[in-house]
Amino acid sequence: MTRRLTLIGLTLAGAAMVLPAAAPASPPGGPGIAPVKQAEEVIVRFRSDADAQERADARRAADVERESGLPVRGLEVVDPQPGSTVREAIDALERSPDVLYAEPDVPRQAFVRPDDPLFDFQWALESTGQTVAGRGGAVDADVDASDAWEVTADADTVPVAVVDTGVDLSHPDLAPNLWRNRFEVSGNGRDDDGDGFVDDVYGWDFVGGDAQPLDEHGHGTHVAGTIGARGNDGYGVTGMAWNAAIIAVRALGADGTGTASNLLAAYRYAARVGARVVNASLGGPGSSRAEHDVLAGASNTLFVVAAGNDAADVDSRPTYPCAYDLPNVVCVAATDRNDRLADFSNRGATAVDLAAPGVDVASTWPGGRHVLLSGTSMATPHVAAAAALAFNAAPSLTAGQVAALLRSTADHLPALQGLVAGAGRLNAGRLLATAAPLLAPPAGGTDAGEPPADEPDEGPEDTTEPIAPTAPSRSVDRIPPGLALGVPRRRALDAVLRRGLGVNVRCSEACTVRLEVVADDSGPGATLGHGATRLAAARSTTVTVTPTVVGRRRLRGAVPAVRVRAVARDAAGNPRTRLSRRVDIARR
């Protein structure tokens, strides 16, 4: 018997509410926002044991004057004197052994909202309590998109596949953000890239068996717009990602249903052409070993799937692929305007990973239109797009790490307690703020940890062939912790010998960290100093790495620079290794 799947995220009140025509808005950037100025002053932090005379000596040597104090011990604003630049002042200050760091007093300005004229309808991105479809809602019942955009609004380097009913490739809000297969020549009737699909420039249609994954239903176009409608372009709506690379993969027909075999082929295709994220706002009852194996085999790809619209508990009445316990599958429920579980949404304290807004969601519709729709399908692409932004901000993240971050950074809502794992609703701002500085490789650093579990899938190309059986089991934690190191660009030799080298260590979860200082040109074993710390939770701390007797002797010799090598292990013993940037040793 052929298993059929359906889209599970479309709730209509008679018909979809069509939004006003997308007329052009004011120029990008909006009125009244001045250009960002260059920094003119310097923020400096002195060591806690530096007295007033030592601070004054450091300022005098750097040719700066104290402008004001700041409400943190040792922190103050200084003004470079005429003839001295901000950069020169910073370099001079950091040569002092009494200075922890110095940096430009960088400018800030009001964040510019996207100028898309229908943005006010997009309460899921910014909820001010505005009325949409005749209903108001709670302030801040959104995903904090504007906070995420302060980190990045771009995901055009992170292909996102929309496995659905197809996509309106000519929609003005979507056409600029479509993925293009650069290895394929359009319309020449040949399989230029040798992937088995002729002319698959924008994706593939597994229903019609051709390279025209057009949307004959509307569902897929709406999902695509939430992910990546072109943002800040003065037209229509904005996607979570203003710039995106949407791969159109049609696996469902005009009636919104399809077969599991088409769906598995679509999953496989999306992963093989490079999708880091797949949005699958669909599902059905009954597990499939083949589906499980295909998803598990594409472990480099994060699959974000809908929980379903039956107001059921997925833990006791499973819907698939939502209920597969795989580290690269994230299942999404829907919340309403008041940050409660939507009345139609499925739930599951174990199977459902988090929720996202899914009621009266404004997005694209075939024919250049924009409509409001409700469903877990409308919630899912918010999460898929947030994941794409995270991958763009920190490309070294694995699918499993982004899945874990989506859960750990979500807003905890009492109304979701017992309904969604962690009672969490997507917070894209916190996701990006955590992912970008914490897990992106540090400048000049290397990651020598164990290889991620999601190696490229080398299985059979034809998914109808027998696949080695994989018994479903509970996930085993094989994901190493995130680790970042912060060190100064230079330190005075006397300061290192007297006080050691201070290193800011940040871990994404509870972990133990061992550190060693090595000469910049040294191989393993050439250790100059040691340090260690234990973090009880995701946080940062400063660790002093103290030189050994041998290390002191070498530092006094001809060591021009050092680096810090750190190894962090989480509770499961998974290691993550980082090598810091170079720290120049200043000699007087």
Whole-angstrom distance, CA of residue 235 vs CA of residue 25: 7
- Per 3-state DSSP, the chain is made up of helix, strand and coil in percentages (nearest 5) of 20, 25, 50
Q: How many alpha carbons fall within 13 Å on the CB side of residue 370? A: 26
Find the angle CA(377)-CA(164)-CA(6) to the nearest 5 degrees: 70
Whole-angstrom distance, CA of residue 142 vs CA of residue 550: 56
Look up 363 and say whether it is catalytic. no
Whole-angstrom distance, CA of residue 501 vs CA of residue 30: 46
For residue 344, which of 329, 360, 323 has the smallest C-alpha distance?
A: 360
Q: Given 96, 288, 377, 580, which residue is catalytic?
A: 377
Question: How many C-beta neighbours within 10 Å does residue 12 have?
Answer: 12
Maximum Cα interatomic distance, the chain, rounded to a whole number of Å: 85
* Start-to-end C-alpha separation, the chain: 81
Query: Do residues 355 and 424 lie in contact, with contact meaning Cβ atoms separated by under 8 Å?
Result: yes
Look up 164 and say whether it is catalytic. yes
Query: Do residues 80 and 42 lie in contact, with contact meaning Cβ atoms separated by under 8 Å?
Result: yes
Whole-angstrom distance, CA of residue 99 vs CA of residue 47: 6
Query: Do residues 127 and 139 lie in contact, with contact meaning Cβ atoms separated by under 8 Å?
Result: yes
Question: How many C-beta neighbours within 10 Å does residue 577 have?
Answer: 16
Length of the chain: 588
Look up 219 and say whether it is catalytic. yes
577: left (phi over 0), alpha (psi -120 to 50) or beta: beta
* Cis amide linkage into residue 31, ω under 30° from 0: no
Q: Given 164, 215, 233, 454, which residue is catalytic?
A: 164
One DSSP character per residue, 521-574 reads: T--TT-EEEEEEEEESSSEEEEEEEEEPHHHHHHHHTT--EEEEEEEEEETT--
Dihedral sign for Cα atoms in the order 527, 533, 535, 541: negative
Tell me the two tokens of residue 410: 């979500």
Residues assigned a catalytic role = 164, 219, 377
